[in-house]
Structure 1
């Protein structure tokens, strides 16, 4: 990747053996193969964290516009809107084959099933204060 302003942020391994990265500044997902080939896919504002799902797709948070994104190994994308201001950030595959994510601005975590159904769970207490 020769774009010095892309902002590589998070990385994971896909089911295809390639590395998948979020490029937070350029609003893209990149796929890097072991032979050095790079494919880039525009995604929208602020792709943050990325993780492989049980469906072999890559799921990622879009903190910039409050969405969860999904990209297949072939580059096909879908997106799932969250409440405005939720601030999705961390994401991981859960033992139930759903994807679980944090919502840093609303003191919640969320669960999205592989077919796109979203459930929100309030956390007790308040978010830690920021310095």
Structure 2
């Protein structure tokens, strides 16, 4: 039986949103309304770094064993946060996005050290190379709202929230291949690459999870509650994926075969958003009401 423990980290107004876990076991999370990034160490201690009064840190991706990349959506930059002097966390570096007011949002790191991100307001993807240079790639569709992004090998996958499609770039600046969703206005958001190579994504408006197999076949798994609003999704090391249900206040697991298991969160209306799996197999969820949920 899955045990769920909720850890208070802020008040509800700060808004824990994105989350990831680095190889040292630390849980990193964004406070989207407070302009901060937090770190919870394995001993439960908390640290925070302020990105500025106008910052809106949204999503994170692991950079090194003990640092993360963060998108600052309103600040139009990519920020590298990690340990500094006396083990306190601080901003290590930041990279400006060339297109003004592009609203960087989703982010992922590839094995070669490059960092890819989406630009919500510019219909583009961005790539930061190992020298800190940014290249932008138009997605070729207007008002699609490129949302979240996931990487695997040399490939990146991303969702077009308003374009009702999933895009795939097979390495570097290759042409984008699109997979159109079968039902209109499904609102794809979270996306991940599972251990078997299949791509899973969450349809926040469609009440479903989507899957693109390695053979390119797209299928959907309809959720029991069509208003459950699946938001973020992440691959489990042993197979399957974990995902958040913002509308129904749940965390779910889907097997590689499409079988569903749902878990109710203890705090009502906790607003689960980001989700990540730690090296020890525990699942961490950012709850916008000021909590982190741990499933073990």
Tell me which residue corresponds to 1:19: 156
CA contact (8 A) 2:195 2:239 kept: yes
Moved >3 Å (runs of 4+): none
The CA distance in 2 between the partners of 1:96 and 1:123, in whole Å, is 23
Q: Specify which of 252, 262, 268 is matched with residue 126 of structure 1.
A: 268
Q: Specify which of 178, 190, 200 is matched with residue 40 of structure 1.
A: 178
Q: Specify which of 114, 117, 125 is matched with residue 259 of structure 2.
A: 117
Q: Specify which of 37, 55, 63 is matched with residue 204 of structure 2.
A: 63
The CA distance in 2 between the partners of 1:35 and 1:26, in whole Å, is 21
**What is the CA distance between 1:127 and its match in structure 2?**
2.1
CA contact (8 A) 1:80 1:116 kept: yes
After TM superposition, the structure 1 stretch with the greater mean CA deviation from structure 2, 19-28 or 39-48, is 39-48
**What is the CA distance between 1:27 and its match in structure 2?**
0.3
The CA distance in 2 between the partners of 1:71 and 1:51, in whole Å, is 11
Q: CA RMSD in A?
A: 1.7
Q: Secondary structure at the match of 2:243?
A: strand
Structure 1 gap ranges (5+):
none
Q: Compared with structure 1, are the counterparts of its residues 60 and 128 closer, same or farther at alpha carbon in structure 2 (3 Å cutoff)?
A: same
Q: Specify which of 208, 222, 238 is matched with residue 96 of structure 1.
A: 238
Are 2:166 and 1:29 equivalent residues in the alignment?
yes
Aligned length: 129
* Deviations, residues 15-58 of structure 1 (Å, cap 9, x unaligned): 5x211110111100011132421111101411111001011011
CA contact (8 A) 1:69 1:79 kept: yes
Structure 2 gap ranges (5+):
1-138, 272-287, 289-296
* Deviations, residues 86-118 of structure 1 (Å, cap 9, x unaligned): 110010012331200000011110110001110
The CA distance in 2 between the partners of 1:18 and 1:96, in whole Å, is 21
The CA distance in 2 between the partners of 1:75 and 1:8, in whole Å, is 21
Which structure's CA Rg is the greater one?
A: 2
Q: Secondary structure at the match of 1:51?
A: strand
TM-score (norm 1): 0.90
Tell me which residue corresponds to 1:78: 219
CA contact (8 A) 1:20 1:30 kept: yes
Q: Which has the higher strand share?
A: 2
